[in-house]
Amino acid sequence: MHAWRYWIGIGAVILLLFIGIGLHQPAPPVFVRSPYLGIEDDPTTTVVVSWKLDRPLPGVVRFGPWTEYEKTGTFSSAVSVSADSGTEDFVYHVPLSGLSPDTEYAYRVDIKVGLASRESDVGRFWTASSDLDHFVFTVYGDTRTYPDRHALVVKAMETDHPRFVVHTGDLVETGGVEMLWDERFFPAVAPLAADAPYLTVLGNHEQNSPQYYEGFSLPSGGGKDGKEWWSVDYGTVHLVGLDTNILTLPHGFRLNREQISWLKEDLAAAKARGERFIFVFFHHPLFSSDLEYAPGNTGLRTLWHPIFKEYGVTAVFSGHCHNYERLVEDGVNYIVTGGGGAPLSGFTADPIPGSVKRAELLHYIRVTISGEQAEIEMVPVGKMEGNSVTQLPPEPFDSLTVPAVQTSPSTLGS
Ligand SMILES: [Fe+2]
């Protein structure tokens, strides 16, 4: 045989081998939702990293102190997860535990399959500490309908570098439609939720859907999956999330009795621990001058407002009405913040008693904790002119300084 025929034969075999290997290579992994953060019961030592893939695949979360990563470009720790540790929709929630309090961390999620791999962008977050009393967090709500407007509000919030974010509900148009979460909500919120743990409460549009519970790591409390309502301490602040849709659910009255008795115990325990500020979050406002929702949810108001008053809640944040309103009722501050991207709505000609400020704007709320006082500011993002948004400078439209509900334990009785 001629030598050239021999070498052509060998070449053909090698080529076929490469083609064979290529054909059997799995497609590169895809982040359907890029990594986002959550907190559960102890944000001083644990932060949860979540993501969603196009199929079940193992992953590694690499993480370490930000200062170390900045110097070396490497991560000192890693947590591996198996392919089957995700949900049936391939959502993964991975707690990073044993973290140091009040420390900034860097992290990255690596997914590898065969020769293909995918690395997420590097995110960063802070842990809390039990006496942390100087930090910023943000609150907003009603992001359904227009992801582009939601993205503008997210971009504005990013400039504050909040320690965490709270959403007051109606995240998507229809909670049971997976595509709305994957293609509208999560892409819009990604730049913020990659760096700030994301807390949320149920709106009516979530429809108490499995997708809501599957999507978020939340602190424990009660109701469905133990996180239909929840609470957590973040430094000197106690945060409580409640479900206002509860009376529309099967056995709603029984569930609401459960929620109320949990709430009273939770607030009493927070006060006993010496938490300086108590902030409560839920969807339907108890008080509102909204054109279609005034005067607010009077049924829940009868049940809940006396509790907030009795336990000295610092401020209550709601959504549902697509505007901003601040009210003071019997000394309790009520903030309606529903300007995250849903169609804006106006107010009745005669605002209800207790209404202090109102605005029909895209916006968010910035809360700055400074020792014994907190500043609550409404930061405008844009106004609507027909269907187009005119962006607004971030000069606070409204602000309120509130004192601590009680002094810190070390100064109690002094
Ligand atoms: Fe709503």
CA of 283 to the centre of ligand 1 (A): 7
Residues 185-221: tens digit of each pLDDT: 999 999 999 999 999 999 999 999 999 999 999 999 9
pLDDT for 122-150, tens place per residue?
A: 999 999 999 999 999 999 999 999 999 99
Strands 123-126 and 104-113: antiparallel
Q: Per-residue DSSP letters for 75-116?
A: -SEEEEE-GGGS-TT-EEEEEE-SPPTT-EEEEEEEEEETTE
Average pLDDT, the chain: 93
Q: For 35-61, what is the mean pLDDT?
A: 97
Alpha-carbon span 32 to 30, nearest angstrom: 6
- List of domains in the chain: 31-126 (2.60.40.10), 134-411 (3.60.21.10)
> How far does residue 163's CA lie from ligand 1's centre (Å)?
26
Distance 284 CA to ligand 1 centre (A): 7
Of all residues in the chain, what percent carry a pLDDT higher than 70? Answer: 93
CA distances from 333 to 238, 275, 285, 309 (A): 16, 18, 12, 10
Mean pLDDT of the region 358-364: 98
Residue 414 has pLDDT above 60, yes or no: no
Count of residues in the chain: 414
The candidate with the shortest Cα–Cα distance to 175, out of 210, 217, 150, 216, is 210
Give residue 322 CA to ligand 1 midpoint distance, Å: 9
| Mean pLDDT, residues 273-298 | 97
Distance 171 CA to ligand 1 centre (A): 9
342 C-alpha to center of ligand 1: Å?
A: 10
170 CA to centre of ligand 1 in angstroms: 5
Of 99, 133, 100, nearest in space to 234 by CA: 133
Q: What is the pLDDT of residues 5-45, one digit of tens each?
A: 777 777 766 665 555 555 567 889 999 999 999 999 999 99
Burial pattern 381-397, b for ≥16 Cβ within 10 A else e, equals bbbeeeeebeebebeeb
CB-neighbour burial class of residue 106 (10 A; exposed 0-12, middle 13-18, buried 19+):
buried
Tell how far the Cα of 335 is from the centroid of ligand 1, in angstroms. 15
The secondary structure of residue 209, as a DSSP letter, is -
Instruction: Answer yes or no: is pLDDT of 413 > 50.
Output: no
pLDDT of residue 412: 39
Q: Ligand 1 centre from 208 Cα, in Å?
A: 12
Q: Are 221 and 230 in contact (CB under 8 A)?
A: yes
> How far is the centre of ligand 1, averaged over its atoms, from the C-alpha of 9 (Å)?
70
Q: What phi and psi, each to the nearest 5 degrees, are found at residue 71? A: -75, -45
Give which of 153, 143, 223, 152 is closest to 175, Cα–Cα. Answer: 143
Q: Ligand 1: distance of its center to the CA of 30 in Å? A: 32
